[in-house]
């Protein structure tokens, strides 16, 4: 779908460019950049839920609050693909898939320097 620029000022910060990978009536799939929290936390830094809600509000000219279901999280330092539910029905179904391990996450780590396998436990580590 391409990159969509959002220039809304929120909590004193310009919103990041949001890359929407897929969107339909039920879900929205976006790229989360590293160092952005998946959901609001005590730092009050702008988070993915807020960014995506603002995108939906602006794109569809919604005057009221927008429903957005958090299906899964990615840690703040991690960048990657996130799926959000745009309806409560989709949220329930996707949450069931996460709970039943139908929904799978794969991670690719890029490291600088030598990895010390004694410091961390790695599964299926390819060097």
Give the whole-angstrom CA distance, residue 96 versus residue 94.
Answer: 5
Q: In 1-127, which ranges are continuous DSSP H helix?
A: 48-59, 88-99
Give the whole-angstrom CA distance, residue 122 versus residue 117.
Answer: 7
Could you confirm whether 45 is annotated as catalytic? no
For CA atoms 53, 58, 60, 64, the dihedral sign is: positive
Query: Which of the following is catalytic: 47, 75, 96, 112?
Result: 75
Active site residues: 75
């Amino acid at each position: 779908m391409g990159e969509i620029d959002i220039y809304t000022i929120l909590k004193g910060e310009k919103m990041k460019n949001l890359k929407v990978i897929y969107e339909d009536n039920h879900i929205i799939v976006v790229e989360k950049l590293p160092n952005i929290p998946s959901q609001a936390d005590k730092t009050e830094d702008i988070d993915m839920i807020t960014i995506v809600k603002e995108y939906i509000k602006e794109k569809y000219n919604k005057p009221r609050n927008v429903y957005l279901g958090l299906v899964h999280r990615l840690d703040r330092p991690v960048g990657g693909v996130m799926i959000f539910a745009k309806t409560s029905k989709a949220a329930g179904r996707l949450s069931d898939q996460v709970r039943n391990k139908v929904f799978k996450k794969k991670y690719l780590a890029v490291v600088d320097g030598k990895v010390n396998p004694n410091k961390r436990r790695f599964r299926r580590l390819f060097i």
